Chains A and B, each alone.
Chain A
Amino acid sequence: MQFLQQIINGMTIGSFYALVALGYTMVYGVLKMINFAHGDLFMWGAFLAFTGLHVAGSLTGQAQPWLLGPVFIAVTLVVAGIGVLVERVAYRPLRSAGRLAPIISALGVAFILESLARNIYGPRWLSMPQGFVPSGVLMTYQDVRLSALQLAVLLIAFVLMAGLYVFVQRTRTGVAMRAVALDPLTARLMGIDVDRIIATVFLIGPGLGGAAGMTVGLYYGSFDFTLGWTFGLKAFIAAILGGIGNIPGAMVGGMLLGLIETLASGYLSPQWKDVIAYVILILILMFRPTGLLGERIAEKV
């Protein structure tokens, strides 16, 4: 029974990695650029949710679960806005400056976002206001527990992934995105507004990050400004593992990393989980250098 519980534990952690990995994959798929600021945009999702829930709670006089909806939408939109702004200010001027400059610029943005969070909210741990998230166990089978929150996290990760996949595959904007990913110059000749498409990518990627940040913040209940670093790095690795640029790959990579870490912690020791996880990662990359599912966003335009 311990094993079944560990699988549930692993899939919960895996969902978080997958949620954050979606943002990395989205930007990389189109721009071939690793947005290192994504982890910190994600962290801002948690901080803004903290503020949003406090404001919503004081406006309506009490903490009610339905307020999560509007706050969730607001947080997603604000972080998406920050993402677009970051692209406009820090990435667009460097788009033709080679591969190294945008990476350094992205790291710079990451440090700026992290320092801003620390200076505005302070360095201490913040706890989400109580009463919004209904706690409690959904199902108990012998000793195995699945909470409503864990199920919600799994569902949110899956729905966002599926939605993103359908968007990229089936909509006109999605087709334009894949065209830009394949060849920006030709896409421009075909009448696609490349700047607008890239801005849209930076609307969706960071927006997903903001949504993920709020979910993680609510699940663990408390966090500090290092949240972006902790989850961002793992999610980046999950994205590579699944095949960066590949949307279902982010889900597969995230789940796999979460499960490997959990089983290593649960049956050996948490001290060894990173060693085991990365040995497996290196082995996978040796045999499949483009990740488990490979890069697929730009195929078959």
Chain B
Amino acid sequence: MSKRLVMSILIVFSMLGGLVGCGGSKGTIKIGLQGPMTGDYAYEGQGFRNAVELLVEQTNAAGGINGKKVELIVEDDAGDPTQSALVAQRLVDAGVVAVIGAYNSTATEPASEIYNEAGILHITPSSTAVRLTQKGFKRFFRVCFLDDRQGLFAAKFMKEVLNAKNVGILHDNSTYAQGLAEETRTYAEQMGLNVAFYDAINPNDKDFSPILTRIGAANLDAVYFTGYHSQAGLLLKQSAELGLKVQWIGGNAANNPVMVEIAGVQNAKGMFVTTEPLPQDLNYPEAKKFIADYKAKYGEEPASVWTIMAAEAFNVIRYAMEQTKSTDPAVLADYLHNQFKNVNGLTGPILGFDEKGDRLGTIHVAYVIDENGNFVLYDKQPSP
């Protein structure tokens, strides 16, 4: 009972907050975007901004949402948890009703606490750490899929497609990569694989020869690296220079052409990546139109699937506002939990969201890097 009381007080307060916010900005809907515009993941953050700015422009040109213009407020969290808490507070103070972000789970976690307290609708395009949705936040959603589903997919891929017996798992001590590494280890052990190597590197390291020398001596059939693309590229390059014969597999944070550029095509060739489908493999009319518009505005296609996911998050918010004729986060969150079903999205049909705010279903697939350095869908995939 008392929990309910607290909740209703929170809701009342959040509504008051919403009213105050609306009072300051007559006739616009304020939506926040936070992401790493600078720092190690700046490439991804700028993709977020490009994608959402494009959609806001298109929405406003078509008359806005429910007759109101959208005002986008972009904040830079640099991928850093401390900075993230600061910019989250700034967005709350600016009176946003919904926020898209952050990129990495490490930055999303502190921000989600602040948005939850302020009662703001919060959708992350790309943070897949399982525990983000384990806290009972009623207005937190994600349009990407959970780490544990990717972990299950990766374990299956190593066992069924690669016939691996001894496998290694390497993460980079970030919230995201560690979560994925732990889930993968759990599923791999359940399936009878021997996880003979499990360790982590540090997020800012550039030289991996010590740990690679150890991996080389451990006789592994495959190593799954769950960290980000820049370090994945350096790992591949240095692994080849040390003459390692091990099969590398990357997680979805390695899913970026920059990795191949860093590694060099000859070193990246033959590496597998478990991920959501790449932008160009999205065979949906919505996706094709978005990618064409993006290219027309910015001169290049979105390189990362997370750029598409940021657009997806905006579209979900817009759709919910249009369907409910409301900008009240409580109404929107309730709608997303209970009535939002089977909507065509950029990344395929969005089946809906479960009670925790996680997107239903999964779309993970395995890619292989071919001799030209391109990511191509691998012809063998594990059983669904």
Contact = CB atoms under 8 A, between A and B. Distances in A.
Interface in B79-103: none
A127 B200 contact: no
A274 B210 contact: no
Contacts of B42: 118, 123-124
Given A9-B210, A265-B210, A271-B200, A147 B241 contact: yes
* Most A C-beta atoms less than 10 A away, residue of B39, B207, B242, B243: B207
A233 to B, nearest CB: 10
A152 to B, nearest CB: 14
Nearest to A2: B217
Interface string B195-217: 00001111011111111011011
Nearest to B42: A123
Interface size class of chain B, counting residues whose CB lies under 8 Å from the partner chain: 35 or more
Contacts of A130: 264
B264 A13 contact: no
Nearest to B237: A221
A230 interface: yes
B32 interface: no
Nearest to B230: A125
B38 A127 contact: no
A220 B200 contact: no
B209 A262 contact: yes
Q: Is the interface of A mostly helix, strand, loop or mixed?
A: helix
* Most B C-beta atoms less than 10 A away, residue of A118, A135, A147, A265: A265
A265 B207 CA distance: 11
A10 interface: yes
A239 B39 CA distance: 27
B210 A222 contact: no
A62 interface: no
Contact of A6 (B43, B206, B213, B258): B213
Contacts of B173: 271
A270 B258 CA distance: 24
B207 A13 contact: yes
Contacts of A274: 202
A114 B201 CA distance: 25
A147 B209 CA distance: 13
B28 interface: no
Interface in A185-231: 220-224, 226-227, 229-230
Contact of B200 (A2, A12, A270): A270
B63 to A, nearest CB: 35
Interface size class of chain A, counting residues whose CB lies under 8 Å from the partner chain: 35 or more
B40 interface: yes
Contacts of B206: 220, 223, 227, 230
A22 B41 CA distance: 31
B83 to A, nearest CB: 15
B181 to A, nearest CB: 12
Interface string B220-241: 0000000000100110010001
Contacts of A118: 38, 42
B262 interface: yes
Nearest to B261: A127
A265 B211 contact: yes
A79 B258 CA distance: 28
B233 A222 contact: yes
B123 to A, nearest CB: 24
B46 interface: yes
Contact of A2 (B43, B205, B213, B243): B213
A262 B211 CA distance: 8
A240 B241 CA distance: 32
A145 interface: yes
Nearest to A258: B207
B214 A222 contact: no
Contacts of A224: 40, 230
Given A221-B262, A271-B200, A123 B213 contact: no
A266 B262 contact: no
Query: Lowest 8 A-B CB distances belong to which pairs?
Result: A123-B42, A265-B210, A9-B209, A266-B210, A222-B262, A262-B210, A124-B43, A270-B201
Interface of B: 37-40, 42-43, 46, 173, 199-202, 204-211, 213-214, 216-217, 230, 233-234, 237, 241-243, 258, 261-262, 264
22 contacts: A2-B216, A5-B242, A6-B210, A13-B207, A13-B209, A118-B38, A118-B42, A123-B38, A125-B43, A125-B258, A125-B261, A125-B262, A135-B241, A143-B243, A220-B206, A221-B262, A222-B261, A267-B214, A270-B199, A270-B201, A271-B173, A271-B201
